[in-house]
Amino acid sequence: MYSERFQKSLAAVEAAREKNIALEPERMTAKQKEDLLAAYHPDYNQDEFAILKVGPNSGEKVPTELAEILQAHSRISADSGDLNNPDYDVDVLVIGGGGAGASAAIEANEAGANVMIVTKLRIGDANTMMAEGGIQAADKANDSPAIHFVDAFGGGHFAAKRELLSKLVCDAPEAIQWLSDLGVEFDKDADGTMITTHGGGTSRKRMHAAKDYSGAEIMRTLRDEVLNREIPVVDFTAAIELILDEDGNAAGAVLMNMETKDLLVARAKTVIIATGGAGRMHYQGFPTSNHYGATADGLVLGYRVGAKLLYPETLQYHPTGAAYPEQIFGALVTEKVRSLGAKLVNVNGEVFMHPLETRDVAAASIIRECSTRENGVDTGSGQGVWLDTPMIEKIGGEGTIEKRIPAMMRMFLKYDIDIRKEPILVYPTLHYQNGGLDITPDGMTTNVKNLFVAGEAVGGIHGKNRLMGNSLLDIIVFGRNAGKNAAKSAKETTLNKLTLKHIDAFEKELEKAGIVTETVSPKLLPNYTKQNNI
Amino acid sequence: MENMVNVFLFGKKYEVPDNLTIMRAMEYAGYQLIRGCGCRNGFCGACATIYRIKGDRELKACLACQTKVEDNMYIATLPFFPLVKQVYDMEKITPTQAVMMQLYPEIYACIGCNACTKSCTQELNVMQYIAYAQRGDFEKCAEESFDCVMCGVCSSRCPAGISHPQVAMLARRINGKYLAPKCGHLEERVKEIKDGTFTELIEALMNKPIDEMKELYNNREIEK
């Protein structure tokens, strides 16, 4: 139920619904998209970026908030801990307990390696758990990995590393098969055919889903498998600094118990960074759809030992974050809502864009509608546009919403909004870190040996914008890949003496660049206590 | 002007704005959360919470990130509950009722009190899905339990010591792996890729100049 202030606009939306359902809005031309992005997408807002002065990406721009934690002090000094008497001694150390970390650990275990997961919250507290819409794979007759490649390459502004992208699309069907064999329940017809839909920017219907709990279903299954294999999971323990050996290869990490603040040392022949994204950095003051721990830790850990970043200046703002009610401000409203037929409608009840443009284009279009065009809906605490969910029931028949997007229905029903009968208000929310650490197709960073990366902490797989459903895919494909290759490298590795001397070297660089800061990193968690409420 | 309400966090009184969720209210009161906070969006089950409104007999359960504060709310979080998770090999398991008897025999000690269902933070019919599990009807158990976030509140209320979320997890994996219909087009595509059916097509894309890639992308046919 919406209050009085929304009624006039709601009436316009309802009056135009039949006509809007029938409408097939035109897609934008390449030129129109370019102009729109340049004028309205947050990535193009130059005031919000800083040029890095130290480290392998010196001279390149990144979001101001990221620059601050990349060019910060370590939480420890170079003489911390007894590196020669580690608390944990393993072949493969996986940092992060999300979908990428769990997949990596399972494959490393399968390959016979002694593998351990360390995570600052619990295993499964990750963006994977919150991915709603689905996972892409070109497994239908009218589709192919090559078509998938073209969709993703174009959607990412032709910037993806092609050798990574080809791996993503070619390994996709097998990834789905692997998940199925683990017991993930994909939506299927009675004959086993996958029920698939479009996502923004796809040219074939290749979005596989498990209702709108796709990521949760995948994550809880992977977690169960990790536990079945009795892979050690050290939870509420953050990696706060990587350890190298005297040869400059990755050799473990210094860990911190999040509750007692005790420091521990983990020695490992290979290390996999699977720390996820950065939504909780709240770049440019945006709300976020991300989980509590998304603070770009892996980028900081990697950067301090000299690993290169790729496209760290590109973030994804999901076009449809909840704009109302304010208790769920910024929460994800899955793209699947649009896949199922709901259109974006402005304050006057007008459809102002094709609902399945790529995410960056859709986000910029909504920002334009709410700013210069003045066609946004005033929510009382900001602006938004309507996402006309009742269209779904009209198009797919009564009951479609409950069957296909039950989590969305539940989320809004808690605030007395029945999305089967009433539209919802949305505005872009910080959703995904397109960039990250630069890797080769084996999952290893391009310039630090035995340091692997998987999942959202990787840069380059998607270029400068990611399509819906390619992230759940990437954590599985590149998670498994990193696990297998890290296990293999561990077998071929003899560690030299462990050292933290890179901390001193980085300090010297900071000093030389004239950077004076009190910030320590990684950030680990945001601070939302009274003084810092967002 | 914000309306303020009194809440009692672990019994201690705080005044907080009435439009906050329990989680935000704790932060407003000054708690820097480590436990009991995960996705902040109702998917991860980290923030299971029990509460009672002063003067009310009923003890309620919820997710702190999904529930608004009320005046005179007595709040205790349940950031961890010791569920029993049995270890099994999915490759060796058989999709029969015997599996449940072997791994989670306590489900047959259910006394039908329905406390699990009453306490479910997702409003699932928990006792019903346990009944399906008892009968070895994994498909129905999977369907009925699908929205479970494994927060563990049901188990905290169970006099029979059942770990409902873990029982449901097993049922869903059995259903997904063994009972759901096999997907023919998926198996075929995996084989085609292994056989190199698409190798040439992909290789052609690896070295194509950007202008040609743009041409290809901007003029591609989009399935209706």
pTM of the model: 0.97
Residue A267 dihedral angles phi and psi, to the nearest 5°: -100, 140
Same domain, B52 and B8: yes
CATH number at residue A123: 3.50.50.60
How confident is the model at residue A1, as a pLDDT? 79
Alpha-carbon gap, residue A235 to A218, rounded angstroms: 20
Q: Where are the beta strands (DSSP E) in B102-155?
A: none
- Nearest CB among B184, B198, B214 relative to A158 is that of B214
- Containing domain of residue A298, as a range? 74-134+211-314+434-501
Mutate to test the interface with B, among A3, A29, A129, A211 (most CBs of B within 10 A): A129
How confident is the model at residue A532, as a pLDDT? 57
Alpha-carbon gap, residue B204 to B198, rounded angstroms: 10
- Nearest CB among A158, A173, A188 relative to B193 is that of A173
- Tokens 């020695």 sit at which residue? A267
Contact present, A225 and A217 (Cβ < 8 Å): no
Same domain, A455 and A416: no
Contact present, A199 and A334 (Cβ < 8 Å): no
Contacts of A217 in chain B (CB under 8 A): 146, 172
Same domain, B10 and B32: yes
Dihedral sign for Cα A400, A404, A406, A407, please. negative
Alpha-carbon gap, residue B222 to A201, rounded angstroms: 9
CA A213 to chain CA centroid, Å, is: 16
Overall size of chain A counted in residues: 534
Rounded to 5 degrees, what angle do the CA atoms A477, A112, A479 make?
15
Mutate to test the interface with A, among B22, B35, B41, B179 (most CBs of A within 10 A): B41
* Pairwise CB contact (< 8 Å): A192 & B90: no
Same domain, A386 and A326: yes
Residue B88 lies in a domain: no
Nearest partner of A477 among A138, A251, A13, judged by Cα: A138
Contact present, A378 and A307 (Cβ < 8 Å): no
Contact present, A222 and A201 (Cβ < 8 Å): no
Residue A523 dihedral angles phi and psi, to the nearest 5°: -75, -35
- Containing domain of residue B198, as a range? 184-218
* Pairwise CB contact (< 8 Å): A125 & B46: yes
Give how many domains chain B has, as a whole number: 3
Alpha-carbon gap, residue A340 to A343, rounded angstroms: 9
Alpha-carbon gap, residue B220 to B224, rounded angstroms: 13
Bridge partners (DSSP) of residue A207 are A136, A197
**What whole-number percentage of chain B has pLDDT above 70?**
100
Same domain, A13 and A130: no
Cα dist. A39→A12, A32, A244, A482, B97 in Å? 29, 11, 44, 38, 61
- Nearest CB among A163, A191, A225 relative to B181 is that of A191
Q: How many helices (H) and strands (E) does chain A have?
A: 17, 22
Same domain, A346 and A417: yes
* Pairwise CB contact (< 8 Å): B185 & A154: no
Assign A210 to helix, strand or coil: coil
Give A501 to chain B, closest Cα distance, Å: 30
- The radius of gyration computed from the CA coordinates of chain B, to the nearest angstrom, equals 25
Alpha-carbon gap, residue A13 to A268, rounded angstroms: 58
* Pairwise CB contact (< 8 Å): A177 & B186: yes
Contact present, A330 and A322 (Cβ < 8 Å): yes
* Pairwise CB contact (< 8 Å): B39 & A184: no
Same domain, A93 and A20: no
Residue A55 lies in a domain: no
Predicted ipTM > 0.95 = yes
Give B135 to chain A, closest Cα distance, Å: 20
| B185 touches A: beta carbon within 8 Å | yes
- Nearest CB among A145, A186, A227 relative to B193 is that of A145
* Pairwise CB contact (< 8 Å): B24 & A173: no
* Pairwise CB contact (< 8 Å): A177 & B187: yes
* Pairwise CB contact (< 8 Å): A194 & B146: no
CA A277 to chain CA centroid, Å, is: 5
Residue A472 lies in a domain: yes
| B31 touches A: beta carbon within 8 Å | yes
* Pairwise CB contact (< 8 Å): B29 & A236: no
In chain B, the residue whose alpha carbon lies closest to the alpha carbon of A329 is B41
Cβ count within 10 A of residue A427: 29
* Pairwise CB contact (< 8 Å): B175 & A183: yes
AA letter at A148: H
Residue A50 lies in a domain: no
- Nearest CB among B30, B172, B202 relative to A185 is that of B172
Mutate to test the interface with A, among B24, B43, B140, B206 (most CBs of A within 10 A): B43
Residue B35 lies in a domain: yes
CATH number at residue B71: 3.10.20.740
Alpha-carbon gap, residue A516 to B217, rounded angstroms: 47
Nearest partner of B75 among B49, B54, B37, B57, judged by Cα: B49
Cβ count within 10 A of residue B19: 16
* Pairwise CB contact (< 8 Å): B39 & A291: yes
Same domain, A371 and A411: yes
In chain A, the residue whose alpha carbon lies closest to the alpha carbon of B214 is A154
Tokens representing B26?
């704790």
Same domain, A237 and A304: yes
Give A179 to chain B, closest Cα distance, Å: 9
Alpha-carbon gap, residue A186 to A139, rounded angstroms: 14
Same domain, B170 and B188: no
In chain A, the residue whose alpha carbon lies closest to the alpha carbon of B222 is A203
- Nearest CB among A129, A142, A166 relative to B223 is that of A142
Of chain B residues 101-120, which have a CB less than 8 A from chain A? none
- Asked if A338 is an active-site residue, the reply is yes
Residue A196 lies in a domain: no
Same domain, A227 and A286: yes
Q: Give A323's contacts (C-beta < 8 A, 6+ positions apart).
A: A329, A379, A382, A383, A384, A425, A426, A427
Residue B31 lies in a domain: yes
- Tokens 């960073």 sit at which residue? A445
Residue A364 lies in a domain: yes
Pairing type for strands B73-77 and B4-9 reads: parallel
* Pairwise CB contact (< 8 Å): B38 & A125: yes
Same domain, A336 and A473: no
How sure is the predictor about B23, in pLDDT bands with cuts at 50, 70 and 90?
A: very high
Same domain, A321 and A286: no
Instruction: Report the largest interatomic distance among the alpha carbons of chain A, rounded to a whole angstrom.
Output: 73
| B183 touches A: beta carbon within 8 Å | yes
Contacts of A231 in chain B (CB under 8 A): none
* Pairwise CB contact (< 8 Å): A125 & B223: no
pLDDT tens for residues B105-163? 999 999 999 999 999 999 999 999 999 999 999 999 999 999 999 999 999 999 999 99
Residue B58 lies in a domain: yes
| B60 touches A: beta carbon within 8 Å | no
Alpha-carbon gap, residue B28 to B16, rounded angstroms: 7
Residue A426 lies in a domain: yes
Give how many domains chain A has, as a whole number: 2
Residue A139 lies in a domain: no
Tokens representing B3?
């309306």
Alpha-carbon gap, residue A439 to A452, rounded angstroms: 8
| A403 touches B: beta carbon within 8 Å | no
How confident is the model at residue A89, as a pLDDT? 98
Contacts of B146 in chain A (CB under 8 A): 185, 211, 213, 217, 406
Spell out the per-residue pLDDT of chain A, length 534, in tens: 799 999 999 999 999 999 999 999 999 999 999 999 999 999 999 999 999 999 999 999 999 999 999 999 999 999 988 899 999 999 999 999 999 999 999 999 999 999 999 999 999 999 999 998 899 999 999 999 999 999 999 999 999 999 999 999 999 999 999 999 999 999 999 999 999 999 999 999 999 999 999 999 999 999 999 999 999 999 999 999 999 999 999 999 999 999 999 999 999 999 999 999 999 999 999 999 999 999 999 999 999 999 999 999 999 999 999 999 988 999 999 999 999 999 999 999 999 999 999 999 999 999 999 999 999 999 988 999 999 999 999 999 999 999 999 999 999 998 999 999 999 999 999 999 999 999 999 999 999 999 999 999 999 999 999 999 999 999 999 999 999 999 999 999 999 999 999 999 999 999 999 999 999 999 999 999 975 554
| B82 touches A: beta carbon within 8 Å | no
Same domain, A22 and A90: no
Nearest partner of A342 among A23, A10, A33, judged by Cα: A23
| B3 touches A: beta carbon within 8 Å | no
Nearest partner of B97 among B112, B107, B110, B84, judged by Cα: B107
Same domain, B115 and B147: yes
Residue A414 lies in a domain: yes
Annotated catalytic residue within A318, A354, A404, A502: A318
Which helix (H) or strand (E) segment is A266 a member of?
strand A263-273
Which of the listed residues A430, A453, A474 is the one where a domain comes to its end?
A: A430
Same domain, B154 and B197: no
pLDDT tens for residues B48-96? 999 999 999 999 999 999 999 999 999 999 999 999 999 999 999 999 9
CATH number at residue A405: 3.90.700.10
Alpha-carbon gap, residue A341 to A356, rounded angstroms: 10
Contacts of B32 in chain A (CB under 8 A): 525, 527, 529
Q: Give A252's contacts (C-beta < 8 A, 6+ positions apart).
A: A83, A86, A93, A242, A243, A265, A266, A267, A268, A271, A498
AA letter at A285: G
Tokens representing A273?
């960074």
Residue A56 dihedral angles phi and psi, to the nearest 5°: -65, -20
Same domain, A339 and A368: yes
Alpha-carbon gap, residue A219 to A325, rounded angstroms: 28
- Asked if A148 is an active-site residue, the reply is no
How confident is the model at residue A327, as a pLDDT? 87
Which helix (H) or strand (E) segment is A274 a member of?
none
| Helix B138-145 / helix B164-174 crossing angle, nearest 10 deg | 120
Give B55 to chain A, closest Cα distance, Å: 24
Cα dist. A291→A487, B18, B31, B138, B201 in Å? 29, 24, 18, 31, 38
